[in-house]
Structure 1
Amino acid sequence: MGNKIQQSPLDQNILDKLMEETGLEREVIIAWRKQFLLSSPSGKMGRKDFFKFYRSLRVESDDKVKEIANFVFTAFDRDSNGKIDFTEFLCGYTITSLGTMRQKLDYVFAIYDNDKNNSIDRKEMIRVISAMYSLLGKPNDDYPPERFTDDVFSLFDTNKDRALTKDEFIEGVMKNPYLSDIISPFNE
């Protein structure tokens, strides 16, 4: 059955939608789909396959990429079904690579919002910041993730409810772009 999926052409409506959402040309989308199906012939990618695929896109070592890859997987899995289909992957990858800062931050927010309740609490932020420190090779002693998180909350949490909404998070990073290097795995 996997081979049948691999050989079937991409539905024109889906192709049109992907061209509109990503700004990519038809041929580029078709080429990306072929690559995706080589990695995941079923047309859906689980965490393990995603890690291998994401790992090939990063220069850092496996141990540094693994935890971030899990967070990125969760952000790309927009329907929270535990699998990433081609549309989720292409939209996520294109936006996080080529999108505007605001579009990238929408995905970054999803990385932090682990419980999908549309807000980020302190514990969620510390988990991701710790993984980002590891990815960046940043020592914890100079500016521990807990202190970094406290500083972010004091800057971003405008209504002081100890949770960051998507708007507070995105606006906070947009006003403090120097924090983006630590907060986002999608920087150039």
Structure 2
Amino acid sequence: MGNGESKTKNKTETSCILDKLRTETKFSQSELQTWYDRFHQDFPTGYIEREDFRYMYSTISGQQNSDDLADIIFQAYDSDNNGTIDFREFMTTLSVTCRGSKEERLNWVFDMYDTDNSGTLSRNEIIHALNAILKMKGFEDTEHLAAVQTEDIFKRMDGDGDGIITRKEFLSVATRQPGICEVFNVK
């Protein structure tokens, strides 16, 4: 196959990827093309590895001690759990976090904290996430603070007192109480 045929094939594949993402995201075709070009310029392999994501997150957030939180967010982006973030995963998540409705963003936060993919949030999952956030923000005694905040969250959200928070409980309380949205960094 000549070099010209290879370029045509790559343009066709790229066009198919972008067309599909146009229907799956809230980005325009030109925005997707810009993101695609930049993504492949920054990540020529076509995917982001965990270490690259940690560095990128630390740089963007301007926070040190952000590796734990970056790992939680990385896992949420990596929807196929293969240890990398490809362009589709990157853009579909970015679409929700940047342009999604409040409910879509809250659902994404729920999924991000639900690290065992059980469909519920345990105390340990929330403590783990809050500990990472508090650590990144430079708080001392983060484990104690995370445990205290988690108990407060469970008092507000665990309506049936079964020791877990379902998606329905989470969304019901988070949409009515702005303070909860702030804890989970959803505006």
Name the TM tier (shorter chain): 0.7 to 0.9
Conservation of the 8 A alpha-carbon contact between 2:127 and 2:150? yes
Residue identity over aligned pairs, in percent, reads 27
Displacement over 4 Å in runs of 4+: 138-141
Could you tell me which residue of structure 1 aligns to residue 3 of structure 2?
Answer: none
Structure 1 unpaired stretches of 5+: none
CA contact (8 A) 1:76 1:89 kept: yes
Q: Which protein has the larger Cα radius of gyration, Structure 1 or Structure 2?
A: 2
SS at structure 2 position matched to 1:178: helix
Match of 2:67, as an amino acid? K
Name whichever of 10-19 and 106-115 sits farther off. Answer: 10-19
1:34 aligned partner, one-letter code: D
What is the distance in 1 between the residues matched to 2:61 and 2:24? Answer: 24
Alignment CA distance shift 1:138-1:181 (3 Å): farther
SS in 1 for 2:34: helix
Give the C-alpha shift of residue 116 in structure 1. Answer: 1.3
TM-score by length of 1: 0.83
Q: How many residues align?
A: 179
Q: 1:52: which partner in 2?
A: 55
- Which string of whole-angstrom CA distances, capped at 9 and with x for unpartnered residues, describes residues 134-169 of structure 1? 23344548x821111111111111222211122222
Residue 25 of structure 1 is matched in structure 2 by 28
- Counterpart of 1:31 in 2: which secondary structure? helix
Does the residue aligned with 2:170 lie in a helix, a strand or coil? helix
CA RMSD of aligned residues (A): 2.4
Deviations 1:38-61 (A, max 9, x none): 232121222112222333332323
Q: What TM-score does the superposition give when structure 2 sets the normalisation length?
A: 0.84
SS of equivalent residue, structure 1 residue 8: helix
Whether the aligned pair in 2 keeps the contact of 1:78 and 1:88 (CA below 8 Å) is yes
Instruction: Return the offset for 1:84.
Output: 1.0
Give 5+ residue unaligned stretches, structure 2. 1-5
SS class of match (1:81) = coil
Change (3 A) 1:68 1:113: same
Matches of 1:136 and 1:182, distance apart in 2: 13
Letter of the 1:113 partner, please give it: D
Cα offset for 1:170? 2.2
Asked if the contact 2:123/2:164 (under 8 Å) is kept, the reply is yes
- The match for 2:18 is 15
